[in-house]
């Protein structure tokens, strides 16, 4: 597309907006399909994919690209692989599990994930997290980060970028200028980062600077309040001080700058969609990601460009960056992948992250004729991970196994019933599945009533604790041996079952 002044040039600002896309609806709902087609007709830049099957996604991308007058950019947030969004795809362990291993493991996983994206025509992944998990009470970063210290995070962020981008898929370092030290979830409320400018430069910004030097194609700016960097208190994703003056000018970044999702509450509670997108562009961002109302965002941004509120020169530069990305993505044709080979790589990465501490003679579980396994879950929490773990363990253990889900609010009558049911069990496994989830606070498991119930269950039995996800869960219950997976992904659940059943060994914590 030629870039020139005039109305067509003004309308091209739609190409700087990436809209939300649900392929599961697109292939089944005619009204929704028409609404997405209308965005394509308006010149939308591309779409961020949120759900569906592999077939849904492939069909949707093919249809939408055929409707567009320019190359659409299809993106996804797939930190742990396509399974994070697409139901029949392969899942990989979380970044924290990879960060415990040689960076070559991370590079290989990133390469495999990128190949799976490219097989569908997806050319942009909003990963990796370049945040440092420095705050254990952070409800949204945690095991999504590669570690708690800058040097480890730097090594693995750079490895991820190398592995991803050599497969022709753009990586994205997020959430600039660093979300790891927050104590609130930016999906729900605006986190306040209280670190000084010197602290931010010495810690939070280090992985981002390394990512820039590694040639990362894009950087995502988070919805964060960082007074040390913007005294006016503007949200980082909409802050000229943080985007233009810090990221562009001081750090010298020349790639694509994208906002975090503009349909998150810190934005929608303060701005209409058009205001948010235009503020992001005015701050120096190239791309406004999933505004709540994409049509409104386009209309408002067109008016702002037409009136001179937005820079024509910056708009040209942004389009040039996006054109180059689309061209580079297209130069890597879709490829076929082996789901089974990717699943094997995921399992190997999960096994490599396992850490074990305590009395190893308690394992393997196959030495016992009868065991009992309890998964600690909140009332409304997803049950996919603990269910998978139970399924894997049942496949590997031939004895009598009782399983149950319990919560902090367990009734005394249920405690008595469980205790009676597992009276003959020789070993008890307590599994905690805890990780950051958008819109959900971290669970608190150090409840005295829960600890008392677990003590009653474990009386006279060997005790195993599985921490499948966050490594620093406080439980208030003593175990003989503890196993950490640093991820609740499907391969991590399988790896835990393999170790507990004696099929593989594990490293000391």
Q: Do residues 18 and 288 make contact, with C-beta atoms less than 8 angstroms apart?
A: yes
The Cα 183–Cα 136 span in angstroms is 9
Q: Which pair of tokens denotes residue 480?
A: 């003989």
CA angle 336, 290, 204 (to 5 degrees): 85
The Cα 453–Cα 411 span in angstroms is 9
Angstrom CA distances, 134 to 72, 150, 154, 430, 436, stand at: 37, 9, 14, 27, 14
Backbone phi and psi for residue 394, each to the nearest 5 degrees, phi listed first = -65, -30
Q: Do residues 218 and 124 make contact, with C-beta atoms less than 8 angstroms apart?
A: yes
Letter string b/e over residues 171-205, b meaning 16 or more CB atoms within 10 A of that residue's CB = bbbbbbbbbbbbebbbbbebbebebeeeebbebbb
For β-strands 355-358 and 288-289, DSSP reports them as unpaired
- The residues, ordered by sequence, that sit 6+ positions from 91 with a Cβ below 8 Å of its Cβ are 80, 81, 83, 84, 346, 489, 490, 491
Return per-residue pLDDT of the chain as tens, 509 residues: 334 458 899 999 999 999 999 999 999 999 999 999 999 999 999 999 999 999 999 999 999 999 999 999 999 999 999 999 999 999 999 999 999 999 999 999 999 999 999 999 999 999 999 999 998 888 889 999 999 999 999 999 999 999 999 999 999 999 999 999 988 888 889 999 999 999 999 999 999 999 999 999 999 999 999 999 999 999 999 999 999 999 999 999 999 999 999 999 999 999 999 999 999 999 999 999 999 999 999 999 999 999 999 999 999 999 999 999 999 999 998 888 999 999 999 999 999 999 999 999 999 999 999 999 999 988 778 899 999 999 999 999 999 999 999 988 889 999 999 999 999 999 999 999 988 777 777 777 888 899 999 999 999 999 999 999 888 888 889 999 999 999 999 999 999 999 999 999 866 66
Angstrom CA distances, 229 to 196, 201, 243, stand at: 8, 10, 10
CB atoms under 10 Å from CB of 474, counted, come to 11
Could you give the 3-state DSSP secondary structure of residue 17? strand
- The residues, ordered by sequence, that sit 6+ positions from 29 with a Cβ below 8 Å of its Cβ are none
pLDDT tens digit sequence for 295-307: 999 999 999 999 9
CA-wise closest residue to 223 among 289, 319, 272: 289
CA-wise closest residue to 259 among 291, 228, 217: 291
Helix (H) or strand (E) holding 213: helix 206-214
The Cα 82–Cα 241 span in angstroms is 35
Residue 263 burial (C-beta neighbours within 10 Å; 0-12, 13-18, 19+): middle
The Cα 337–Cα 118 span in angstroms is 9
- The residues, ordered by sequence, that sit 6+ positions from 450 with a Cβ below 8 Å of its Cβ are 376, 406, 408, 410, 476, 477
Q: What is the 3-state secondary structure (H, E, C) of 240-267?
A: HHHHHHHHHHHCCCCCEEEECCCCCHHH
Could you give the 3-state DSSP secondary structure of residue 307? helix
DSSP 105-154: HHHHHHHHHHHHHHTTT--EE---B------TT-SSSGGGSS-SSHHHHH
pLDDT of residue 3: 43
pTM of the model: 0.95
DSSP 162-189: HHHHTTT-B-EEEEET--TT-SS-TTTS
Q: Which pair of tokens denotes residue 417?
A: 């019933």
- The residues, ordered by sequence, that sit 6+ positions from 196 with a Cβ below 8 Å of its Cβ are 228
DSSP 278-295: HHHHHHT-SBEE--S-HH
Q: Which pair of tokens denotes residue 484?
A: 């950490």
CB atoms under 10 Å from CB of 349, counted, come to 24
The Cα 474–Cα 263 span in angstroms is 33
What is the distance between the terminal CA atoms of the chain, rounded to a whole angstrom? 56
The Cα 432–Cα 419 span in angstroms is 19
Q: Which pair of tokens denotes residue 20?
A: 């939300």
- In the DSSP assignment, the letter for residue 369 is S
Structural domains in the chain?
Answer: 7-332 (3.20.20.300), 354-508 (3.40.50.1700)
pLDDT tens digit sequence for 6-20: 889 999 999 999 999
DSSP 22-84: -HHHHTT-HHHHHHHHHHHHTT--EEEE----HHHHHHHHHHHHHH-SSPPEEEE--TT-GGG
pLDDT of residue 470: 86
């Amino acid at each position: 597309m030629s870039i020139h002044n005039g109305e067509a040039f003004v309308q091209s600002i739609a190409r700087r907006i990436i809209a939300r896309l649900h392929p599961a609806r697109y292939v089944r709902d005619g009204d929704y399909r028409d609404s997405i087609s209308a965005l394509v007709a308006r010149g939308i830049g591309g779409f961020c994919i949120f759900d569906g099957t592999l077939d849904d996604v492939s069909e949707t991308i093919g249809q939408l690209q055929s409707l567009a007058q320019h190359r659409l950019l299809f993106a996804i947030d797939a930190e742990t692989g396509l399974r994070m969004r697409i139901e029949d795809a392969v899942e990989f362990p979380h970044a924290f599990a990879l960060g415990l291993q040689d960076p070559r493991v991370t590079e290989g996983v990133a390469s495999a994930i990128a190949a799976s994206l490219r097989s569908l025509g997806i050319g942009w992944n909003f990963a990796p997290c370049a945040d440092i998990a420095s705050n254990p009470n952070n409800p949204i970063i945690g095991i999504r980060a590669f570690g708690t210290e800058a040097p480890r995070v730097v090594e693995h962020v750079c490895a991820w970028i190398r592995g991803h981008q050599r497969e022709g898929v753009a990586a994205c370092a997020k959430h600039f200028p660093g979300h790891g030290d927050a104590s609130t979830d930016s999906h729900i409320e605006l986190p306040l980062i209280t670190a000084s400018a010197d602290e931010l430069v010495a810690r939070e910004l280090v992985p981002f600077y390394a990512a820039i030097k590694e040639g990362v194609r894009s950087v995502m700016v988070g919805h964060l309040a960082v007074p040390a960097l913007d005294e006016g208190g503007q949200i980082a994703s909409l802050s000229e001080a943080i985007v233009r003056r810090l990221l562009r000018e001081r750090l010298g970044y020349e790639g694509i700058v994208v906002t975090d999702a503009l349909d998150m509450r810190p934005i929608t509670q303060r701005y209409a969609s058009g205001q948010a997108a235009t503020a992001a562009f005015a701050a120096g961002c190239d791309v406004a990601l999933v505004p709540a109302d994409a049509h409104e965002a386009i209309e408002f941004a067109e008016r702002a460009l037409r009136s001179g509120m937005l820079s024509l020169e910056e708009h040209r530069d942004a389009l040039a960056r996006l054109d180059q990305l689309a061209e580079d993505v297209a130069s890597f044709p879709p490829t076929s992948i082996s789901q089974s080979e990717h699943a094997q790589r995921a399992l190997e990465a999960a096994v490599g992250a396992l850490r074990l501490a305590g009395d190893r003679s308690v394992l393997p579980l196959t030495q016992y004729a009868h065991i009992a396994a309890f998964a600690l879950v909140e009332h409304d929490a997803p049950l996919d991970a603990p269910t998978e773990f139970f399924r894997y363990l049942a496949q590997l253990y031939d004895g009598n196994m009782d399983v149950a889900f319990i919560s902090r609010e367990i009734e005394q009558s249920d405690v008595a019933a469980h205790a009676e049911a597992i009276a003959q069990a020789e070993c008890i496994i307590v599994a905690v599945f805890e990780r950051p989830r958008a819109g959900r606070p971290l669970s608190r498991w150090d409840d005295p009533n829960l600890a008392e119930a677990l003590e009653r269950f474990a009386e006279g039995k060997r005790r195993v604790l599985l921490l499948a996800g966050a490594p620093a869960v406080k439980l208030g219950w003593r175990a003989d041996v503890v196993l950490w997976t640093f991820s609740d992904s499907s391969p991590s659940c399988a790896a835990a079952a393999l170790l507990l059943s004696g099929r593989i060994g594990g490293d000391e914590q």
